[in-house]
Amino acid sequence: MHNVIQAVILGVLIGGVYALMASGLTLVFGIMKVINVAQGALVILAAYLSYALFTHLHVDPFLSILVVTPAMFVLGVLVQVVFVRTLRGPDASELSLLVTWALALGIEGVLSVIFKTTFRATNPSYANRSWDVLGYQVSEVRVLAFCASAVLLLLLSVLLTRTRFGRSVRATVQNPTAAALLGVDERRVSTIGFGIGVSMAAAAGAVYGVLYPFNPGSHYDLISRLLSIVVLGGLGSLGGAVVAALLMGVTEAVVAVEISPTWAAFSFFVVLLVVLLVRPQGIFGLRERTL
């Protein structure tokens, strides 16, 4: 029992970080029906940026969020304008899947050239500290990462519910035609929305490097997790992404402890299939087959 609760704690903590990464992914889908397969690669890019800042300028990884996030917001805007916006026609969604996949490969390639394929990890002095809470081991960096993620997700939800821009975003998600007729600038919403989605990944990436060793190829593992999360939660649903991410974190951690670490990822896929069997639209997704 003790091990299971320990695993649940660990699962929740890491789930929070995945929730942050996934939020960007599902937000972008909600706005423009585009799946950014490069989200994982962008997380890794941010991890490298944070790593470089730490290794060369001794910037604390959590502080580097303040630098990396705006920088990658700009990158996100650029990517959307140059690559994603040009896709037109009925196949735009599927083409975007492939274009962003190609982009992810490009990012992986560039990172491999610059940093080579050796695994890196950002190791601030407190990386291995952990606290003892009621008999359970709680890693300091994981708590910090979780808190950072929670704060950012809160900021995102405030942005979406209490600002004018947020209202434009939600209108576009629910009914793009009506939103456009009411004066919402769809292009602006798409571009800024994409930028925000990438910034979420960036912030998560800045701390990811402290939690796990990474190399350019790590984005595959990440994106496969993120994709499962957004589908399980319901494409376009922020709340769904958060719930699904926590569910994934807990499932994988518990399976790793109770059965074996090698089956952790597979067990989550089984959870995904079972949910899709009952609700093809995901936990919080809208009914698929309506007119």
CA nearest to 30, candidates 255, 236, 284: 236
101 binds other proteins (CB under 8 A): yes
CA nearest to 229, candidates 265, 259, 195: 265
Residue 132's H or E segment, with its range, is: strand 130-133
Q: Which residue has the tokens 């290794």?
A: 55
DSSP 244: H
175 binds other proteins (CB under 8 A): no
Return the number of other C-beta atoms located less than 10 Å from residue 174's C-beta. 12
Annotate each residue in 235-254 with x if it binds other proteins (CB under 8 A) or - if it does not, as one string: x-------------------
177 binds other proteins (CB under 8 A): no
Closer to other proteins by Cβ: residue 235 or 238:
235
The answer to whether 96 and 89 have CB atoms below 8 angstroms apart is: no
Among 3, 55, 112, 175, binds other proteins (CB under 8 A): 112
Please report, for the chain, how many H helices and E strands are present, in that order: 11, 2
CA distance 170 to 191: 14
Structure tokens at 183: 């004066």
Among 119, 126, 131, 269, binds other proteins (CB under 8 A): 269
Alpha-carbon dihedral angle through residues 31, 75, 217, 7, given to the nearest 10 degrees? -60
Among 13, 28, 35, 43, binds other proteins (CB under 8 A): 35
Q: Among 90-98, 131-139, 159-167, 175-183, which window interacts with other proteins (CB under 8 A)?
A: 90-98
Closer to other proteins by Cβ: residue 59 or 252:
252
DSSP 120: B
The answer to whether 247 and 8 have CB atoms below 8 angstroms apart is: no
Min dist. Cβ of residue 95 to other proteins (A)? 6
Min dist. Cβ of residue 16 to other proteins (A)? 21
Q: Among 61-69, 193-201, 218-226, 239-247, which window interacts with other proteins (CB under 8 A)?
A: 218-226
110 binds other proteins (CB under 8 A): yes
Contact residues for other proteins, defined by CB under 8 A: 29, 33, 35, 37, 83, 86-87, 89, 91, 93-95, 97-99, 101-103, 105-106, 108-110, 112-113, 116-117, 216, 220-221, 224, 227-228, 230-231, 235, 262-263, 265-266, 269, 272-273, 276-277, 280-282, 287-291
